[in-house]
Amino acid sequence: MRHATLFTGIGGFDLAAEWMGWENIFQCEIDPWCQKLLKQNFPTVQHRYGNIKETDFKQWAGEVDVLTGGFPCQPYSTAGKRLGKEDERHLWPEYLRAIREIRPRWVVGENVRGLTNWNGGVVFDEVQADLEAEDYEVLPFLLPAAGVNAPHRRDRIWIVAHANGEPREPGIERGRE
């Protein structure tokens, strides 16, 4: 399996992929400290990108089996101001653009529980609707960290999506094929 990450952070998804024997083909992380750590801990990853807003992923069309990423949670977190779409860190649209360009077979997204109820759940609903419009079957899971023996309750929403049938060509909108 060929795996790639957006909003890579310190590489949690990449580490899990390595444990499963998957090939990590690229990482996209804007933070310089995280970039340094990723280079040190994942030396076999050949392609690294910084700002997702400045990255063209079209070269990866049809090359990624699993695309993962924990898109920024600050816009929805109860620990923050909960500015949602008005927050410059609302980067779901960039994640969706990358999905459209790459057309992975699987997408796994992670975020805070606050995504499910910010503004009545509008962004949570949009994420699912956007993926479904791109012809993915979507299944969200709400899992507490305590569910995997962490000593605290820290709920996370996991959004797992699988491409229905054969992936469409990048850039072709549904109904225009």
Q: Please confirm, yes or no, whether 34 is among the known catalytic residues.
A: no
The secondary structure of residue 8, as a DSSP letter, is -
Beta bridge partners of 108: 68, 160
Among residues 28, 52, 73, 107, the one annotated as catalytic is: 73
CA–CA dist 3, 66 (Å, integer): 5
The DSSP bridge pattern shows strands 106-112 and 66-69 to be: parallel
CA–CA dist 78, 30 (Å, integer): 24
Start-to-end Cα distance in the chain: 28
- Give the side-chain half-sphere CA count within 13 A for 20: 13
Nearest one of 121, 114, 117, 118 to 77, comparing CA atoms: 114
Active site residues: 73
